[in-house]
Amino acid sequence: MSRLHESISRLSCERKRWFIAGAAFFMQLCLGTVYAWSVFKKPMMEAHLWTETQTQFSFMIYNTVFALAVAFGGTLVDRKGPRLVGLIGGILFGSGLMLTGFANQIQSLGLLYVSFGCITGLGGGLGYITPVITLIRWFPDKRGLVTGLAIMGYGFGAFVLGNIAPRLILDAGIITTFHLWGGVSLVLVLIAVMFMRNPLPAWLPAGFVPQLGKISSSEDSFTFGRALRTPKFWNLWIIFFLSLTAGLGLISQLSPLTQDVMVSGFGGTPSEEQLRDIIIASGFIVALAGIFNGIGRLAWAWISDTLGRKPVFILIFTIQAAGFILLAHAGHIITFSILAFLVLACYGGSLASMPAFAADEFGPLHIGKIYGVIFTACAAAGFVGAFFFAFIKDVTSRFEPALYVASGFLLLGLFLTIIYRNPVSEN
């Protein structure tokens, strides 16, 4: 009878964890709409006469606060559980976007920095880390696949908003667009949060056998202090920083960059009607980039379960470094789009593979805090990547030099990945 009860319990947990994975995907989809940020840049610059760097600074603040919130939120999820952290994150994310609409209404850069940069960034970070840490604990047997599935939703967010926002901005205005974006996000994220919960501490999937070189049990997990003293911990941080710097820089400027390529293809000055078509088309390309970003998250993370985390990062860095150089010479919109989709699929792959990488190296018990600190690399990357793309464009009136700089970051990341060694082998 006890064996029957145990079998029923395990079957119930198996179903429950896939329901949680579905809710996690949906939650990340809502939060990932911020990846369509570049669609909002030119309308705000034109409406308020803000400069490239002034407008971009709000996205730089967002990425910094977002990453710090992920680090802080990882510790909170470890201590308080996922539901409370996700609830706070959803409220802050939605209300921050609605307040951003008001910042546009009164044309206040300062309020834009507070509302979108700080409040939305804090909510986005707390919301993002909640399903990631929850799924790592529910799926020790499929870490790469399931975290990739959830984080794929974050990448798909740009597809949703990238298709909707350009037309909505043109027809209803940027203020209304921000208000609708915030209100809908608030409701949908809070619904998804209700499914978030941790498994029992001793729970493991039926028939699961930990692989050699990976830490799967709580008993063998690194403490936070012990992981922090490991040189390879900081190697992972730097690898993550270099990959994200290039990707976030491109994402922050994808719509303006796309419009520049399309305008240059006219061979003259486009008419007002043609400019409208270009704006809508650039939003569609941003949306498609979100799809490839999302697919890359699932595909690379899934591949890393078989090929290994280090080989996957070597491939990602190699493809991205070559891709950014080729982007600098892409004069046709189709060539440009294909290259952008490729490098952003790799960017998404690095984001999705790193949680599993960290969990393999340091174990699941304190992974919220450990991965959270590794994710602070995103704070630095979001600031550096967004800044140097905007600054170089302001100084040179061209994006090509920034693409070369991004490729240099990626080549350095490739070198550091090649020399990386597994800390488990040193125990």
Alpha helices in 106-230 (DSSP H): 109-112, 121-138, 143-172, 174-193, 224-228
Q: What is the CATH number of the domain that holds 288?
A: 1.20.1250.20
Assigned domain for 221 exists: no
Assigned domain for 70 exists: yes
Residue 20's identity, in one-letter code, is I
Assigned domain for 9 exists: no
Q: How many CB atoms sit inside 10 A of residue 213's CB?
A: 11
Assigned domain for 3 exists: no
If phi > 0 it is left, if psi is from -120 to 50 it is alpha, else beta; for residue 156 that is: alpha
Q: Which residues contact 191 (CB under 8 A, 6 or more apart)?
A: none
Assigned domain for 5 exists: no
The structural domain count of the chain equals: 1
Cα separations (Å) of 343 from 71, 348, 368, 423? 26, 9, 28, 29
One pLDDT digit (tens) per residue for the chain, 427 residues:
444 444 444 556 677 888 888 888 889 989 988 877 878 887 888 888 888 778 888 888 898 898 889 888 888 888 888 899 999 999 999 999 999 999 999 999 899 999 999 999 999 999 988 988 888 888 877 777 777 777 777 777 877 887 788 888 888 889 999 999 999 999 999 999 998 888 876 667 666 665 554 554 455 677 878 888 888 899 999 999 999 999 888 888 888 888 887 877 666 666 677 777 777 787 788 778 878 887 888 888 888 888 888 999 999 999 999 999 999 888 788 898 999 999 999 998 998 889 888 888 887 777 778 888 898 888 788 778 878 888 887 778 777 888 999 999 999 999 999 988 764 444 4
Residue 77's identity, in one-letter code, is V
Assigned domain for 146 exists: yes
Q: Tell me the residue range of the domain where 41 lies.
A: 21-198+231-421
Cα separations (Å) of 230 from 237, 286, 381? 12, 39, 22
Assigned domain for 241 exists: yes
Is 322 exposed, middle or buried (CB count within 10 Å of its CB: 0-12, 13-18, 19+)?
middle
Count Cα atoms within 13 angstroms, Cβ side, for 328: 16
Number of residues that this document lists for the chain: 427
DSSP character string of 294-352: HHHHHHHHHHHHHH-HHHHHHHHHHHHHHHHHHHTT--SHHHHHHHHHHHHHHHHHHHH
- Nearest by Cα to 320 from 295, 337, 341, 297: 341
Is 45 exposed, middle or buried (CB count within 10 Å of its CB: 0-12, 13-18, 19+)?
middle
Helix (H, G, I), strand (E, B), or coil: what is residue 38? helix
- Nearest by Cα to 48 from 40, 37, 36, 38: 40
Assigned domain for 8 exists: no
Burial 7-26 (b: 16+ CB within 10 A, else e): eeeeeebeeebeebbebbbb
If phi > 0 it is left, if psi is from -120 to 50 it is alpha, else beta; for residue 397 that is: left
